[in-house]
Amino acid sequence: MAPRNDPRESLGYLVTDLARLFGRVFDRRAAHLDLTRVQWRALKRLSCSEGATQVELADQLDVEPIALGRVIDRLQKAGFVERRADPSDRRVWRLYLLPPSQQVTDEVERLAATLRRESTAGITAAELATTLSVLQRVRGNLIELDREDRGEPPSKG
């Protein structure tokens, strides 16, 4: 058992609390965009992986595909996203951003950049680089543990 003051004891709680607080502040600042957090997360993730299927995007966002389907329905109705049939499998729909989504994703990026800057005030570039490096290693360890728990082979590299 880890000693009571071991910083590893509270890592999960701290990361969860940071995500919760970051999300709360961001949601207030982004309220004028009339998008839910999952909607703007879907747009952001889709901007990095256009042409993804609903199942692939749901996996990236860690939500159920059926729940994401309703989100995509609303984004499609708002004119931000379109579904296109996959040319090699007619049962599959690929997701693409429409031009109006660019304005909202640009605004989300501006808000996020400002919040990142403000939330790291007083932290040196070296401290931030070390923190991010450690968190990326923790993330890598957790990815491998998740793969192992699901019975998948270890990733290469």
For 64-104, write each residue's pLDDT tens digit. 999 999 999 999 999 999 999 999 998 899 999 999 999 99
**pLDDT at 35 exceeding the cut of 90:** no
Residue 117 has pLDDT above 70, yes or no: yes
Q: What is the CA radius of gyration of the chain?
A: 19
CA dist 25 → 79, 84, 131, 137 (Å): 26, 35, 21, 27
**How many percent of the chain have pLDDT more than 70?**
94
pLDDT for residue 12 is more than 60: yes
Token pair 């003051």 is found at: 5
Contact 81, 46 (CB under 8 A): yes
Instruction: Give the pLDDT score at 156.
Output: 75
* Contact call for residues 70 and 58 (beta carbons, < 8 A): no
Calpha distance 121→95 (Å, rounded): 37
User: What is the arithmetic mean of pLDDT over 128-133?
Assistant: 97
Torsion sign across C-alpha atoms 55, 58, 63, 67: negative
- Quick one: DSSP state of residue 3? -
Contact 53, 95 (CB under 8 A): yes
**Cα–Cα distances in Å, from 81 out to 33, 52, 77, 103, 144?**
16, 12, 8, 13, 33
Domain residue spans in the chain? 22-119, 123-157
In this predicted structure, what is the pLDDT of residue 111?
A: 93
CATH architecture of the domain with residue range 22-119: Orthogonal Bundle (1.10)
Note the pLDDT of residue 3.
Answer: 58
Closest C-alpha to 75, from 27, 28, 40: 40
